[in-house]
């Protein structure tokens, strides 16, 4: 008995006369107050990138010494901080930091050098300065 493979649940169904239609999962942003202004785009990405402790340690190391390769970052994290992460894990963390704009890369030859970019953090500090009580 030959049966066709089951279609995964995420695949669109074919309706009778209208052709293919796709289910779109669109998140609607509510415009309550200034929510959309405050939490759209880069700010959320920066906060999500800073949420992980390993990424904060990587940023601290890049702030201390800019222009490190992946191998140098891995060896520093293993020796100074005792983090036994693989190169692939560190590469994924660097990718998240790069997507948030906190790390800028430069490719020279076969090596890729990573630099700390404080501009997204300065943007947050400009948008929400500390009050007099918190200083």
- Indicate whether 79 pLDDT > 70: yes
Q: Read off the tokens for 39.
A: 């939490």
pLDDT in tens, 5-51: 565 555 555 555 444 443 333 344 444 455 555 555 668 888 899 99
Question: Average pLDDT in the 56-82 region?
Answer: 94
**pLDDT value, residue 61:** 95
The whole-model pTM stands at: 0.65
For residues 16 and 56, give the distance between their C-alpha atoms in angstroms, rounded to a whole number.
53
Higher pLDDT, 62 or 28: 62
Tokens 């030959």 appear where? 2
Domains of the chain and any CATH numbers:
53-127 (1.10.10.10)
């Amino acid at each position: 008995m030959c049966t066709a493979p089951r279609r995964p649940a995420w695949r669109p169904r074919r309706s009778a006369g209208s052709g293919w239609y796709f289910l779109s999962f669109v998140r609607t942003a509510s415009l309550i107050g200034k929510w959309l202004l405050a939490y759209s785009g880069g700010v959320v990405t920066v906060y999500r990138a800073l949420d992980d402790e390993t990424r904060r340690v990587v940023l601290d190391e890049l702030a201390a010494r800019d222009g490190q390769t992946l191998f140098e970052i891995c060896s520093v994290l293993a020796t100074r901080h005792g983090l036994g992460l693989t190169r692939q894990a560190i590469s994924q963390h660097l990718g998240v930091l790069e997507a948030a704009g906190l790390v800028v890369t430069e490719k020279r030859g076969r090596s890729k050098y990573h630099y700390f970019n404080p501009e997204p953090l300065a943007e947050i500090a400009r948008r929400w300065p500390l009050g007099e009580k918190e200083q």
